[in-house]
Amino acid sequence: MRISGAGNSNKGFTLLELVMVMLIIGLVMGVVIPRVGSGLLGDDLRSAVRMAMAEVDRARSEALTSGRTWCVVFDLDGNGLGSGACSAAAGEDPGMDIDLREPGGSVRMVEVSSPGGEPVREGRVTLFFFPNGLGSPATVTFRKGEEPGRVLTIRAFNPALTVAGEEVS
């Protein structure tokens, strides 16, 4: 019978130790990855709402400083939005010449509503911002897959925008 002494240099890990470490890593990844993934999905939705907020802010500011009417266009069919100076002949879409951008990811604009009007779920909706500081009030609903949507509220005379009831700056 051989007795190992102090000079024994068996270094390394047993198979059981390696399996246990792999099991722990697998469990941690199983918990962390779904949470991180769902957070990233929410980032697309937040980014889309912030993009719309930027277009509304731009239109309101440009209308005030330039003395011209500005439009924000929401194209629900093409899933695009943009802002620009309104220029159209009578009977034409005033936002026809405005370049539109997609909100990104798989985020969709699903509805634009104005006070007292029917919700619009298809086609183009144009909101107007005037040199006197007034604008078209509306709510715009954004959705990504089966996630709860975000609603952007645009007020007629107040430049503060809200998303789902929370003040956003």
pLDDT per position as a tens digit, 115-153:
888 899 999 888 999 998 888 899 999 888 877 788 889
Q: Where are the domains of the chain?
A: 15-168
Residue 166 has pLDDT above 50, yes or no: no
Neighbours of 162 (CB within 10 A): 16
Q: CA separation (Å) from 92 to 55, 111, 130?
A: 22, 22, 19
Tell me what pLDDT residue 36 has. Answer: 61
Name which CATH class applies to 15-168.
Answer: alpha beta
| 8 A C-beta contact, residue 125 and residue 164 | no
Q: Indicate whether this model's pTM tops 0.85.
A: no
List all residues 6 or more positions away from 85 whose beta carbon is below 8 Å from its beta carbon.
62, 66, 68, 69, 70, 71
pLDDT tens by residue, 87-103: 654 445 665 678 888 88
